[in-house]
């Protein structure tokens, strides 16, 4: 499997990084639903009648807590509830931003009142216009993730180069937005021991994805893409959806979101992923 993936990655590299063949779908079957015993975090009935002050304090604490929280399953990259939040959710992610279409994609998502993570590359921030786009997308309320400075295949870089690919982009993003990214996605989904260590030092959460299609020749068309993104057998609770800064993906976004909503899925706000 590892050899197969490396072969696919090489093919992708040979055909050029900017082409939408850059990331290959995982061949894993949809993750089996885990039959984990639901953790019973329900508050025990406790009688605070004797101490109303304590009860009031607790109620205040509850009302200021986040309304939901999720985590990334590091085995299959799905988004799963930490306690009893909604399970039938998906996470929207947009890679290789901010190139030509990210800003319009952000505007489309905003109109549809949906959140997403934009995974950015340093080479799109080389000039002022790239930085402006990033700042605008951030100020619209979207989560900004780290996708390395140069879209490097980290397994082909030295430890020091890998570190720079990740840390220098965090610094650059922080310079533009004032906030260091919380999420990391390795180009081609190739994580290494070094990248894992740097991600941990930087207190980021790493994620690959569950499925995506917009780099495949058959789906470089809005209608075909919108259909497969909803009809795919890989659509499971918590699916982590990979999309890119591409014209056809921008055009397909409303139909993808509409289709997923019709199937009963909600959309996780990355802000509540811990
Ligand atoms: Zn990428």
Query: Which of left, alpha, beta for 113 (phi over 0: left; psi -120 to 50: alpha)?
Result: left
- Ligand 1 center to 96 CA (angstroms): 5
- What are the tens digits of pLDDT across the range 47-61? 333 344 444 444 444
Interacting residues of 259 by C-beta distance below 8 A, sequence separation 6+: 226, 227, 229, 230
CA separation (Å) from 146 to 39, 41, 49, 169?
32, 33, 50, 7
CA 69 to chain centre: 15
Task: Give per-residue pLDDT as tens, 231-273.
Answer: 999 999 999 999 999 999 999 999 999 999 999 999 999 999 9
Per-residue pLDDT, 170: 98
Higher pLDDT, 81 or 65: 81
Helix (H, G, I), strand (E, B) or coil at 183: strand
CA of 16 to the centre of ligand 1 (A): 12
Task: Judge whether 22 and 12 are in contact, CB under 8 Å.
Answer: yes
Tell me the C-alpha distance between 61 and 76, whole Å: 33
CB 207 within 8 A of CB 240: yes
pTM for the structure as a whole: 0.79
Q: How far is the CA of 175 from the centre of ligand 1 (A)?
A: 22
C-alpha 82 – ligand 1 centre gap (Å): 28
What backbone phi and psi angles, to 5 degrees, belong to 29?
Answer: -70, 160
DSSP state of 146: E
Q: Is the pLDDT of residue 176 over 50?
A: yes
Give the distance (Å) from ligand 1 centre to CA of residue 149.
Answer: 11
At 23, is the pLDDT very low, low, confident or very high (cuts 50, 70, 90)? low
Domain positions in the chain: 72-272
Per-residue confidence (pLDDT) for residue 14, from 0 to 100: 33
Instruction: Give the distance (Å) from ligand 1 centre to CA of residue 188.
Output: 6
Could you tell me the distance, in angstroms and rounded to a whole number, from the CA of residue 55 to the centre of ligand 1? 49
Residue 266, beta-bridge partner list? 89
Q: How many CB atoms lie within 10 A of CB 250?
A: 22
Q: Would the pLDDT of 99 be above 90?
A: yes
Spacing, Cα 70 to ligand 1 middle (Å):
24
Architecture of domain 72-272: Alpha-Beta Barrel (3.20)
> How many Å lie between the centroid of ligand 1 and the Cα of residue 189?
8
Ligand 1 centroid to 93 CA: how many Å? Answer: 11
Kindly compute the dihedral angle of the four CA atoms of residues 155, 125, 110, 257, in this order, to the nearest 10 degrees: -30
Centre of ligand 1 from the C-alpha of residue 45, in Å? 49
Percent of the chain at pLDDT above 70? Answer: 75
């Amino acid at each position: 499997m590892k050899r197969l993936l490396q072969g696919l990655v090489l093919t992708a590299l040979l055909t050029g990084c900017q082409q939408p063949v850059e990331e290959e779908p995982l061949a894993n079957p949809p993750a089996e639903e885990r039959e984990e015993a639901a953790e019973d975090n329900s508050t025990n009935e406790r009688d605070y009648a004797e101490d109303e002050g304590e009860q009031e304090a607790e109620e205040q604490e509850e009302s200021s807590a986040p309304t939901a929280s999720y985590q990334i399953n590091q085995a299959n990259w799905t988004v799963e509830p930490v306690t009893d939040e909604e399970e039938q959710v998906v996470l929207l992610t947009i890679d290789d931003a901010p190139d030509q279409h990210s800003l319009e994609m952000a505007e489309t998502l905003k109109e549809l009142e949906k959140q997403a993570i934009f995974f950015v590359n340093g080479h799109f921030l080389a000039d002022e216009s790239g930085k402006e786009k990033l700042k605008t997308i951030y100020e619209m309320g979207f989560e900004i993730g780290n996708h390395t400075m140069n879209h490097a295949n980290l397994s082909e870089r030295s430890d020091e180069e890998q570190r720079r690919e990740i840390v220098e982009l965090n610094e650059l993003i922080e310079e533009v937005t004032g906030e260091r990214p919380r999420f990391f996605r390795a180009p081609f989904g190739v994580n290494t021991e070094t990248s894992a260590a740097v991600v941990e030092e930087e207190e980021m959460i790493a994620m690959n994805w569950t499925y995506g299609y917009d780099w495949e020749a058959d789906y470089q068309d809005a209608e075909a893409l919108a259909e497969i993104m909803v009809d795919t057998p890989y659509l499971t609770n918590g699916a982590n959806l990979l999309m890119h800064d591409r014209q056809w993906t921008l055009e397909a976004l409303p139909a993808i979101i509409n289709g997923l909503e019709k199937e009963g899925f909600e959309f996780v706000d990355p802000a509540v992923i811990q």
